[in-house]
């Protein structure tokens, strides 16, 4: 019996590749550039499984080019890059990599929160430009300790952020589509607020939302107008939940104080105004970007593929 074929478009950890090779023929691509054009078409034509990073579109065209496909394994917890209805219509399973990146992403959320509040990027630029030596004064930052943190999207990553906030003796409030049970709220140490109240009363607001039709552009001019003028906004979920032009305007006009952003509406392009503003810390979607975490994500994606090719239900199957 011929071995199933797994297509991996980007370079992955060699040990995971070896593990995959024990179960399938792997059309891998350890070069620095993505498999593309005719090479990709030839590979997809034979593919039973496809492993992709969470920023790579898997749409009807990709699925049509892969008639034997059984599973799309996303390297990421988010899967807004995958056309789920098109996959499910073809009986193609979709998996993600939940859990293994929660703490790493929460660390970055807090780094952006602290960096924006204490003007780290500006301070770094101020020192590098030699302005400190000239006796120039550096503006004051904002306290994080003992302030109120509002988390919009208290999922696994949101809860890790709440735990970190406890270390800063912050008051944590949250807003979710579905309120947690009182016991869970007590465990997480967060109390529920409706959306507008959270926006109006929080000193720090972290958006930790997946991108869905319900969350798209959830934060626009009206939402920023409800926030405190001293508010700091952080987004480590998906860029599409924020109107970047409205955010830039709110930061430029002092409607809110600062922001820390790891994700953007039209990644990797960043709204030109955001790039010019001093009171925003910008990161290139590195929430999960540590070696141990990325290795765990790729390993998880491979495990999902190995299970599916063995006829088992993959551990991280996305339900339709």
Q: Which positions are catalytic?
A: 238, 267, 285
Q: How far is CA 272 from the centre of its chain?
A: 21
Give 79 or 174: the residue with its C-beta nearer to ligand 8YV. Answer: 79
Residue 77 beta carbon to ligand 8YV: minimum distance, rounded to whole angstroms: 4
Q: What's the CA gap between 320 and 318, in Å, rounded?
A: 7
Q: Is the peptide bond before 70 cis (omega within 30 degrees of 0)?
A: no
Give 161 or 170: the residue with its C-beta nearer to ligand 8YV. Answer: 161
Site residues for ligand 8YV, window 93-152 (CB under 6 A)? 101
Site residues for ligand 8YV, window 285-304 (CB under 6 A)? 285, 287-288
Q: Does 55 bind ligand 8YV (CB under 6 A)?
A: yes
Residue 75 beta carbon to ligand 8YV: minimum distance, rounded to whole angstroms: 6
Residue with tokens 């993959």: 314
Residue 287 beta carbon to ligand 8YV: minimum distance, rounded to whole angstroms: 6
Residue 313 beta carbon to ligand 8YV: minimum distance, rounded to whole angstroms: 21
Name the segment binding ligand 8YV (CB under 6 A); options: 73-81, 85-93, 130-138, 191-199. Answer: 73-81
Long-range contacts of range 242-246, CB-CB < 8 Å, 24 or more positions apart? 242/207, 242/217, 242/218, 243/217, 243/219, 244/270, 244/271, 244/274, 245/271, 245/273, 246/219, 246/220, 246/221
SS3 state at 4: coil
Q: Does 241 bind ligand 8YV (CB under 6 A)?
A: no
Contact present, 287 and 312 (Cβ < 8 Å)? no
Q: Does 153 bind ligand 8YV (CB under 6 A)?
A: no
Query: How many chain residues are in contact with ligand 8YV, going by CB under 6 A?
Result: 11
- Any alpha helices (H) in the chain, and if so which ranges? 14-21, 37-46, 60-64, 84-89, 102-117, 120-128, 156-167, 182-188, 195-201, 221-226, 244-252, 272-276, 291-309
Q: What's the CA gap between 209 and 263, in Å, rounded?
A: 11
Binding-site member from 4, 78, 150, 260 for ligand 8YV (CB under 6 A): 78
Name the segment binding ligand 8YV (CB under 6 A); options: 62-70, 86-94, 182-190, 280-288. Answer: 280-288
Chain position whose Cβ is nearest to ligand 8YV: 76
Contact present, 208 and 109 (Cβ < 8 Å)? yes
Q: Does 54 bind ligand 8YV (CB under 6 A)?
A: yes
Q: Does 240 bind ligand 8YV (CB under 6 A)?
A: no
Contact present, 291 and 266 (Cβ < 8 Å)? no
> For binding to ligand 8YV (CB under 6 A), which residues are involved?
53-55, 75-78, 101, 285, 287-288
């Amino acid at each position: 019996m011929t071995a199933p074929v797994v297509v991996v478009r980007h370079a992955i950890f060699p040990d995971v590749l070896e593990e995959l090779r024990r179960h399938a023929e792997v059309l891998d691509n350890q070069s620095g550039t993505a498999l593309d054009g005719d090479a990709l078409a030839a590979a997809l034509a034979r593919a039973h499984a496809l492993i992709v990073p969470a920023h790579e579109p898997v749409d009807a065209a990709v699925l049509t080019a892969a008639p034997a496909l059984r599973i799309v394994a996303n390297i990421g917890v988010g899967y807004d890059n995958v056309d789920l209805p098109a996959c499910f219509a073809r009986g193609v399973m979709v998996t993600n990599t939940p859990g293994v990146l929660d703490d790493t992403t929460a660390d970055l959320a807090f780094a952006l929160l602290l960096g924006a509040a204490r003007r780290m990027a500006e301070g770094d630029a101020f020192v590098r430009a030699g302005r400190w030596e000239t006796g120039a004064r550096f503006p004051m930052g904002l306290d994080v300790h003992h302030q109120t943190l509002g988390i919009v999207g208290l999922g696994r990553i949101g809860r890790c952020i709440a735990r970190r906030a406890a270390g800063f003796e912050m008051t944590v409030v949250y807003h979710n589509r579905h309120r947690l049970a009182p016991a869970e709220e007590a465990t997480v140490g967060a109390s529920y607020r409706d959306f507008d109240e959270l926006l109006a009363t929080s000193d720090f607001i972290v958006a930790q939302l997946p991108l869905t039709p319900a969350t798209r552009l959830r934060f626009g001019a009206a939402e920023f107008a409800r926030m405190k003028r001293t508010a700091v906004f952080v987004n480590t979920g998906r860029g599409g939940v924020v109107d970047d032009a409205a955010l830039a305007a709110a930061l430029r006009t002092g409607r809110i104080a600062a922001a820390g952003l790891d994700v953007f509406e039209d990644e990797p392009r960043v709204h030109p105004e955001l790039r010019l503003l001093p009171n925003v810390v910008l990161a290139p979607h590195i929430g999960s970007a540590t070696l141990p975490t990325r290795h765990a994500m790729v390993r998880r994606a491979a495990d999902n593929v190995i299970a599916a090719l063995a006829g088992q239900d993959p551990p991280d199957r996305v339900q339709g």
